[in-house]
Structure 1
Amino acid sequence: MKRELLVSLSHVNDPATTNIYPGDPPFELETVATIEKDGYYTRYVRQGEHTGTHWGAPGHFNEGEALADDLDLGDLFLPAVKIDVRDSCARDADYQVTIGDVEEWERHHGQIPAESMVIIWTGWDAKWGSPAYLNTDAGGALHHPGFALDTVRWLADTGRIGHRGGTGTDAFSPDPGIDTTYAVSRLVYQRHRISLEILANLAALPPTGAHILCGGHINRAGAGSTALIYGVLPPPEDTGTETKPPG
């Protein structure tokens, strides 16, 4: 029987290592019951909806657009492609992924399917838990890669991210860190498109052929959710060889 493989694309949330976007609420875990005292163990969690690995709903940046409880499962289960731009980002922390980068990827892998999740692998996942992830300068500005605005407009206009696809990244957001206007986010978060941010383990996601599956809490009128985000890989039989889950 053919069985899809799941790989985790999420960081573990840990107050000791979780990088917080400037201005977001602090992340705290407080033990409120112990087995010794209460017969069970549980903690109180305080965090923003976009702490650690998360997905954002369209209303996160656009008034009147869909919020978390307006989305359906089809908005959270999408074909995925991964574009490896680590070399460019290693040379330039402010790198903006171009239309040319996407076209070069398509020459090797074929056209991106309609309404896809287009994920860029910048290499920022390896910096998680350290000051290098924020990469702030002396003036406090963030420096991390993202999409060029023209690239996202082209992805939307050509249907590649369509009505309910989106963009993903292992950095804080699809915007280059230096853009404080969030122009890319405001464009991505239209219609029913979502954004996946602070992804992990992208080495385990193939360039094409996988889907992404987004979990997390569906808060009433939520701007998104901290999440378990999975890569759903094609069955091993489709490749002609036996494949073991990465990790």
Structure 2
Amino acid sequence: MSNSRLPSRQYPVGGRITAVLASLPSHGPGALTAREDPNNRAGQSSPHLGPATDFYKKLALECSSQQVAVDLFSVAAAYTDLATLSGVSQFSGGSVHYYPGVHTQLNPAQTEAFERGLRRYLTRKIGFEAVMRIRCTRGLAMHTFHGNFFVRSTDLLSLPNVSPDAGFGIQVSVEEALSDTHTACFQAALLYTSSKGERRIRVHTLCLPVTPNMHEVIQGADQEAVTSLLAKMG
């Protein structure tokens, strides 16, 4: 994590980098210092919720351009500034796994959770060099995407890695009246390379009924998905 350039062996083929974080990076490019201020815990502003530097975002964009994703496993009990470090995963299509205080004797439950998560991470299916294009019914407009990826164009997401555990959210606005249609359609097409080197495409299409009744909209909403999205919109 301390070198700002990717190893040359990563350039032709891409792949993924798995980093286990046991402390705050303190040496070399990208070194960080603790930003917690005990005297400001009652303050109205929370600057430490945002990144302290754009170093890790720039590193992520370099990784993404070479089809490399970075996955972080944070196992430290102390402060590690994930608000800054998570950028290297967010913009490279990677993921962040948070297991604070892993210790085989002092915290066996967290250690077991870490082992289960790492086992799942290493054995689940994975896709490489992926791009996702999302379309929707005329009259609707997608204006914000949520998840770990790099937005290549208005409707195209770049995903160096993709897995069954990845999730993506989209904010959609109504630009024109939908009075002449009974359904609103959304389609996501994912083009990726399997672990066997096969180039594949998966298409998911969702059609939802259109209604002027707000009560029906609320009744039909996925509450868990809405809550998860709101928590990540920050």
Q: Same fold (TM over 0.5)?
A: no
TM-score of the two chains, using structure 1 as the length reference: 0.26
Specify the structure having the higher radius of gyration (Cα). 2
Q: Which has the higher contact order (CA 8 A, sep 6+)?
A: 1
Length-normalised TM-score, structure 2: 0.27
